[in-house]
Structure 1
Amino acid sequence: MLPMGSFSRCLAAAGLTLFFAGAAQAAPDPGSPVGTANVTVADPTVPRPPGTPCVVQLFSNDTFDDFNTRPFNYTPPAGCGTRWSKVVLEADFSVTAGRQFDRTATIFLDGVNLFFGTTQEPTSTLAPSWHVERDLTDYSALFRNAGNGQADIGNIVNGTYTGVIQGSARLLFYPASAVAPAAKVPDAVYPIGSDPVGSTVLLQASANQMSATLTLPRNVERAYLDVFTQGQSTPDEFWYTCVPTQYANQTGECGGGNFREAEISIDGQSAGVAPVYPWVFTGGADLFIWKPTPGVQTLNFLPYRVDLTPFAGLLSNGSPHQVTLTLAGVNYYFMATAALLVYEDPHAAQVSGQVVRNTLADQAPTPTIGSTLATSASGETTGNVTTNLSRHFVIEGYVNTSHGRVDTTVDQTVAFANTEIFDVIPNSIYDQTTEQLTSVEGHSVSRTGTWVSSEFHQSYRYPFYMLSNQTFTDSAGDSTIETNIRQGFDEHVAFSVDGFPLYAADVHNHHEGSDSIDYDANYDILSHAGQNSKQVFTFRDSLGGCYRASVSAANDVVTGYNSGNGCPGQQNRVFWFSHPDGAPFGASPLPAW
C-alpha cells in the first residue's frame, strides 16, 4: 500500500557464570534457506527449558476470508499443574497465491492479547507461510482458568483480492522441575480494553482513550503495563513520514506531524509513557523490499513494558482505579491494546502506600517544530522539517509490605527526533528523506530501608531511515520511485541487587533494503528492479549466551543465510530463561533456584 507524498505510503558474577555453565541450549538452526522465496527471518525462536511440554491447541487451520472473528474455548492443560517454568505461544500462518493486502492479526484470551502482528503479502505464484512465537510466561495466571478467546485477521476475499489466510495456534506449557523451576510470574493479569473476549481499541484522536476501571487486590507490590500501539490506514500507517499540518500543502506530504507516543495515566495522573515503534508492513513503501524478509517485528510485534510500581500502594487501597492510555499525535487510525500485570505480597492481605513524587505530571508531550523549507519562484521546494521532544522524569512511590517499606523510583529519559528532508520540483522530482530516532534510558530502583532489593536498567533505540526518490519519466505521469529503508531495534537491560550485578543482555535487530519501482500515472506497478535486503540479529548476555543470524535477499529470493557466526564455537547457544528476541522481562530475569 502506498503512502501519501511521493509514495502511498556482559556483567555477571563469576559464581553465577559457573553455576549456569552447561545450562545453555543450542538455538535451533533451520538449515540453509538459500534459494527460497518463502518468508525467511533471522529472529531467534523462544528458548525452551528441558522436558516435554503440555500442549493446548487454541485453534487449528482456521480460514480468514472476512472480517468476522474466529472464537475458541480455552481449557488449562490437564495433568500439568498450575505453575510452569515457561509458557510459549506458537502460531503458524499462510496465505494462498494471488493478490492480497497485508492484514493485521491478533489473538486474545479473556480480553488479554496473546499475539499481535501482521501478515505477509502473496504473489500470483507464491503462497507464503510463516511461524511466530511469543514468550507468555508472565501471563501464566491467565492460563490457570478456563476462558474464551478469539483470533482476528480481517481479510477481504473477492474477485480482485484473492489471497485466503489460514492459521493455527497452540500454547506449550513446560512443567516446573529442579533444573527449570516455576517462574516468578505476576499473580494476576488484567486487560485494558472494553471487549471481555478481546480486541484492539481504535484511537483516532489524542482525546480518544483506552481505559479500564479496576478494583485490584489490596496487596499489590509491583505493577507493569504491557503496551501495543499500531498505526493503520493513511496517514497513520505511515505516520513517521508525515509533517506538521502547516507544512503539508507546501511539501505534498501527509499532515498531522510524525510524533507519536502512548501516555499512561492512573486516575488522571500521568504514570508513564510508551514509545511507538515504526513498524513497516509488508505492503509498506515498496512491497518488494519485504519479500522474502519482512521488516523488524513486522509479523510479530513486541510489547513495550511500563513500570508502574511506584503506584502499587495507591492501587492497593481497595478503591476502583482507572488505568488509561491515550496516544499523543494520533491522526486518524491507531489500534492499541494493553495488559496490566501485578505481583502481590504473599504474606500480607493488605498493604499501604502512595506516590510521593511525579515530575512527569507537569510535562506535556508537546514537541518542538522547526523548518528550513523554502519555495522558489519556479515552484521548487527544498529544506527540512524537524520534530524534537526529550523528557526526563522521576516517579517515586512506596508500599508497606510484610517485609518492610519498599521505596521504588522510576527514572526515565524518553527522546524523539525526526527530520523530514525535501527536494520537490512539480511534475519532475519528489525526493523525501525521513531520519528518525526514538530512545529510552530508564532506571528502576527498589529499596527496603538502605538495601537495594532490585535495580533494573533499560535502554532502547529505534533508529529509522527512509529515502524515497521519485522521478517523473514522461508527460503522461509515469514515474520511477527508488526507495531505501533502514530500521533497527536496540535493547540493553541490566539487573542487579544491592550493587551486585546479576544479569545483563543486549539485543540488536536491524533490517535494510532497497528497490526501484516503475509506476504509471495511476500508481499501478509496471515493473521493479534492484530489490535487495538484509536482516542481522544479534543477542549476547552476561552469562555467555549468544545468538547471531543474518539473512540477505535479492530479486525476491534468499541469497545468503548465516547462523551462529561470531558466537563461541560458531554456534548459537542461549539459556532457556533468556529473552533473545527482546521481549520484556518480569520482576527477575533469573529462575528461582
Structure 2
Amino acid sequence: MGSPPLSLLFSLLLLLLLSVLTLPTSNAALHRAKLLTSEFSAVRRPSSPTTYFEVTRPIPLPKTKPCSTLVLRHDFGNTYSKPPVTALYEPPSHCPLHRPPSAVVLEWSAACRGRQFDRIFGVWLGGVELLRSCTAEPRATGIVWTVKKDVTRYSSLFAQPHTLAVYLGNLVDQTYTGVYHVNVSLHFFFDSSTPRRPPAAIPVPDFASPADLILPISRSLPLDGGLWFPVQNSSDFQKKELTVPANTYRAVLEVYVSFHQSDEFWYGNPPNDYILANNLTNLPGNGPFREVTLRLDGKVMGAVWPFTVIYTGGVNPLLWRPITGIGSFDLPSYDIEITPFLGKVLDGKPHEFGFGVTDALDTWYIDANLHLWLDSKSSCTAGNLIKYEAPEFTSSLISKFKGLDGRFKTTASRQISMTGWVKSSYGKITTHFFQRFDYENQMQFAGNGSIQVVKQTIDSNHGTYTKHPSSILYSEQVHQNFPLYMYTETTDQVNDTYSLVSNVTLGFNEKKFSGERFGFSFSSLRNLQNCQGNMGVKGNLVTGGSGSTQQEYRYESTGGCYFRNVSSSNYTILYDEIEESCAEASPLGAGLFFRW
C-alpha cells in the first residue's frame, strides 16, 4: 500500500473542506482537511532556499575522519503507490569494515522547490528499517534539510551486501509541483584509540554491544509502497513468521510506528457516543487512546504508547517553518526486551511475530527489527519463561456534553512484566523486563464545536535487569513523559473560506539510567516546543497567516551537556542560543533505580 500525504490539517471542521462542497451552518471543530500553502504577500520571499531542521543534540562521534559513501541518489516525483527505489549496497572497499566501526551515521539530505504536501518515508537495508521520517513542505523559493541519525546499533548489517530500499510516496502534477531531490549517505568512524575492556574472570556477554544479527519484521520486496505493514482498523493484526537461530542468548524487538489519514491526530478524536449523538458518523472517532501491542505466537510480549509526532503539515503548517515538530524528521523507535521469551522460540521452528493497534482507524504503518545476540561458542542455547504478567490495560471515560459542546476525560494504565532465563556458554543468565504506562486525555469542545482543547499526558516507564550467577551483567531503566496541549478555534466560516487559530505545546522528556560491569551512565532530556499560529484558508489553500515556534532543548548526561534555545517566526530565526556545557548539574539518576 502506498503512503498517503500527511498534512491532514487539524482545522477541526464539521465536514470535508473541499471546494466542491458547501460548509454547513454549524461551526463544529471536528475534521482535518488537506491544505496547501501559497506564497502569500505577507511573507518575504528569500533569494536562497530555506534550511529546515529538527532540534536535537549532535551525535557524539570519535575525532577521527569518517569513511563515507553515497548509497543512493534519486529524485522522488511520481512515486506514490509505486515500488520503493532500490540500490545494491556493498561494503565500501575504502572502509575497513573487516572490523566493527566505532560509530555509523546515516545522512539524509534533500531539497525541494514548489508546492507539496508532507510525505512519510522510510529507509530499509536488507528489509531492516533504519529511518522513518517526514518530508518538509517546500516553498516556491526552495527548501533544504538534512537528517543525521546514529545507526551504530545496525553495524552487523553494513559488513555484508544488502538491498537498500527507500519509499517516499509523492505526487507531481499542475497543483503539487514539488520533486524531492535526495542523497542518502553512510559515514563510518573507526577509533583505534578506544581502550580495550579488560577480560572478565568468568566470560560474560557484552549486553551493551550492537546485536550480532538483525532480522526484519517487515514486508518483503518486490512490492508497491513501503515495507511497513498497514494496520487499518482495531481488528487488523499484521504478522510475519521468523525462525530464530538456536544459539541466541539475547533478543530485543525494535518497533517503528507512524499514524496517518483518519488517525493522524488520534489524540484529538472524540468518543463515538459524541459522534453518533451529533450525527457526525463520517468523521474520525474511537476516542483519543491508542495502544500498539506486540505479540509472539499470539501472546502479548510488549506494548507501545506512542509519542504524538506532529508532521510538517500538521495543525497549522506555518508552525513548522523552519523549526519542525519534535520527532518529525527522525520518528522514534521503541525497544522491547523479549529475552525472557527466548525459551519459546529456540526450537528451530518458525514463530509468529505480529502487532495490532487498539481502537485503530485507517491507517497505521508498523514494522519491527529483531536484534539478536548469538553465542559464538555454542550451536544452541536453552531457556525458559519463569514468570509472566500482562493483564489487559484498564481504562475509563468520563463524558458530559450537550450538542456539539462538552468535556471528556479518558484515562488508561497498563503493566507488563516477564522474567526468564537463558543458558549458553556464558552460563545461566536471568533477565527481567517490565513496562508501566499511564495515560490521561482531557478534551473540551466549546463555541458550538468551533473550539477544541486537548490536554494529554503519556507516562512510560520500562526497564531491563540481567543477572549472571557471578554478578549483575546489565541494567537499564527509562522513564519517558510526553505532554501535549493543543487549542484550535475556527472562525469566519463563509462558504469555503475560514480562519483558524492554533496553539500547541509539545514535549518529549526522558530520564535514563544504564549500568553494566564496566560502569554506568545517567542521562536526562527535556525537549519542549511552544507554538502559536493563525491562518486564512480558502478551499484547501492557505491564503495568509503567521506561525511562530519557541523550543528549549536540554540534555544532560554523565558524559556532558547540550543546551539549545531557539525561536522562529514566519520562516525567520529570531534567536538561537547553543551551549555545550551546563552551569548547574541536576541529580540525573534520582528515582530511576528499581528493585527486582
TM-score normalised by length of structure 2: 0.83
Residue 467 of structure 2 is aligned to residue 447 of structure 1: yes
Please, which of 421, 425, 433 is the counterpart of residue 402 of structure 1?
Answer: 425
Tell me the distance in 1 between the aligned counterparts of 2:431 and 2:214: 21
Given the superposition, is the C-alpha separation of residues 116 and 149 from structure 1 closer, same or farther in structure 2, using an over 3 Å criterion? same
Shift of 1:346: 2.9
SS at match of 1:84: coil
Residue 136 of structure 2 is aligned to residue 120 of structure 1: yes
Matching of residues 125-274 of structure 1 within 5 Å:
126-179=141-194, 184-196=209-221, 199-233=227-261, 235-250=262-277, 254-274=284-304
Task: Confirm or deny: 8 A CA contact 2:524 2:556 kept in the other structure.
Answer: yes
Who is 1:532 aligned against?
Answer: 548
Matching of residues 286-365 of structure 1 within 5 Å:
286-360=316-390, 363-365=391-393
Who is 1:43 aligned against?
Answer: 56
Shift of 1:250: 4.8
Matching of residues 509-588 of structure 1 within 5 Å:
509-520=527-538, 522=539, 524-529=541-546, 531-543=547-559, 545-564=560-579, 567=582
Task: Confirm or deny: 8 A CA contact 1:36 1:557 kept in the other structure.
Answer: no
Tell me the distance in 1 between the aligned counterparts of 2:395 and 2:164: 39
Who is 1:492 aligned against?
Answer: 511
Tell me the distance in 2 between the aligned counterparts of 1:205 and 1:474: 33
Shift of 1:90: 0.8
State how many pairs are aligned: 528
Please, which of 59, 67, 72 is the counterpart of residue 54 of structure 1?
Answer: 67
Given the superposition, is the C-alpha separation of residues 474 and 60 from structure 1 closer, same or farther in structure 2, using an over 3 Å criterion? closer
Who is 2:120 aligned against?
Answer: 104
Shift of 1:63: 3.7
SS at match of 1:294: coil
Tell me the distance in 1 between the aligned counterparts of 2:521 and 2:481: 20
- Higher mean Cα deviation, 177-186 or 436-445? 177-186
Tell me the distance in 1 between the aligned counterparts of 2:543 and 2:65: 52
Matching of residues 82-101 of structure 1 within 5 Å:
82-96=99-113, 98-101=114-117
SS at match of 2:178: coil
Shift of 1:477: 6.5
Tell me the distance in 2 between the aligned counterparts of 1:454 and 1:525: 53
Task: Confirm or deny: 8 A CA contact 1:274 1:304 kept in the other structure.
Answer: yes
> Cα deviation per residue 1:338-387 (whole Å; 9 max; x = unaligned)?
10101122332211111122111xx2246322212233xxxxx4321122
Tell me the distance in 2 between the aligned counterparts of 1:180 and 1:301: 33
Shift of 1:50: 2.7
Shift of 1:515: 0.6
Shift of 1:249: 4.4
Given the superposition, is the C-alpha separation of residues 566 and 503 from structure 1 closer, same or farther in structure 2, using an over 3 Å criterion? closer
Tell me the distance in 2 between the aligned counterparts of 1:347 and 1:123: 57
Shift of 1:66: 2.5
- State the AA in 2 paired with 1:147: H
Tell me the distance in 1 between the aligned counterparts of 2:402 and 2:297: 46
Task: Confirm or deny: 8 A CA contact 2:49 2:144 kept in the other structure.
Answer: no
Task: Confirm or deny: 8 A CA contact 2:62 2:191 kept in the other structure.
Answer: no
- State the AA in 1 paired with 2:531: G
Tell me the distance in 2 between the aligned counterparts of 1:61 and 1:254: 36
Task: Confirm or deny: 8 A CA contact 2:77 2:172 kept in the other structure.
Answer: no
Task: Confirm or deny: 8 A CA contact 2:57 2:555 kept in the other structure.
Answer: no
Tell me the distance in 2 between the aligned counterparts of 1:73 and 1:403: 37
Tell me the distance in 2 between the aligned counterparts of 1:369 and 1:127: 46
- State the AA in 2 paired with 1:106: G
> Cα deviation per residue 1:210-262 (whole Å; 9 max; x = unaligned)?
322111111212111111111111x1111111022221245766312221221
Task: Confirm or deny: 8 A CA contact 2:561 2:580 kept in the other structure.
Answer: no
SS at match of 1:350: coil
Who is 2:451 aligned against?
Answer: 431
Shift of 1:65: 3.5
Shift of 1:285: 1.1
Residue 505 of structure 2 is aligned to residue 482 of structure 1: no
Given the superposition, is the C-alpha separation of residues 249 and 484 from structure 1 closer, same or farther in structure 2, using an over 3 Å criterion? farther
- State the AA in 2 paired with 1:161: Y
Residue 521 of structure 2 is aligned to residue 503 of structure 1: yes
Shift of 1:388: 1.4
Given the superposition, is the C-alpha separation of residues 180 and 340 from structure 1 closer, same or farther in structure 2, using an over 3 Å criterion? farther
> Cα deviation per residue 1:106-132 (whole Å; 9 max; x = unaligned)?
1111111121100111123x3111010
Shift of 1:490: 1.1
Shift of 1:497: 4.2
> Cα deviation per residue 1:259-309 (whole Å; 9 max; x = unaligned)?
122101111111011222211111111110111111001112121111112
> Cα deviation per residue 1:379-407 (whole Å; 9 max; x = unaligned)?
xx432112211112211111112222211
Who is 1:18 aligned against?
Answer: none
TM-score normalised by length of structure 1: 0.84
Tell me the distance in 1 between the aligned counterparts of 2:528 and 2:434: 28
Shift of 1:474: 6.2
Tell me the distance in 2 between the aligned counterparts of 1:177 and 1:255: 56
> Cα deviation per residue 1:381-440 (whole Å; 9 max; x = unaligned)?
432112211112211111112222211111221122212111132xxx611011111111
- Identity, % of aligned positions: 24
Tell me the distance in 2 between the aligned counterparts of 1:441 and 1:349: 35
User: Which runs of 5 or more structure 1 residues have no equivalent in the other structure?
Assistant: 10-32, 376-380, 571-593
Tell me the distance in 1 between the aligned counterparts of 2:154 and 2:540: 45
Task: Confirm or deny: 8 A CA contact 2:217 2:369 kept in the other structure.
Answer: yes
SS at match of 1:38: strand
SS at match of 2:264: helix
Tell me the distance in 2 between the aligned counterparts of 1:229 and 1:305: 12
> Cα deviation per residue 1:446-482 (whole Å; 9 max; x = unaligned)?
11237322211111111111100222x3665743221
SS at match of 2:176: coil
Task: Confirm or deny: 8 A CA contact 1:56 1:76 kept in the other structure.
Answer: no
Given the superposition, is the C-alpha separation of residues 403 and 370 from structure 1 closer, same or farther in structure 2, using an over 3 Å criterion? same
Task: Confirm or deny: 8 A CA contact 1:348 1:401 kept in the other structure.
Answer: yes
Task: Confirm or deny: 8 A CA contact 2:302 2:435 kept in the other structure.
Answer: no
> Cα deviation per residue 1:148-187 (whole Å; 9 max; x = unaligned)?
1211111110001111111001111222523276982101
CA RMSD in angstroms, aligned pairs only: 2.5
SS at match of 2:233: coil
Tell me the distance in 1 between the aligned counterparts of 2:195 and 2:139: 44
- Higher mean Cα deviation, 450-459 or 104-113? 450-459
Tell me the distance in 1 between the aligned counterparts of 2:494 and 2:149: 51
Given the superposition, is the C-alpha separation of residues 200 and 115 from structure 1 closer, same or farther in structure 2, using an over 3 Å criterion? same
> Cα deviation per residue 1:26-69 (whole Å; 9 max; x = unaligned)?
xxxxxxx9x99431443223221132322232112434443232
Tell me the distance in 2 between the aligned counterparts of 1:336 and 1:181: 38
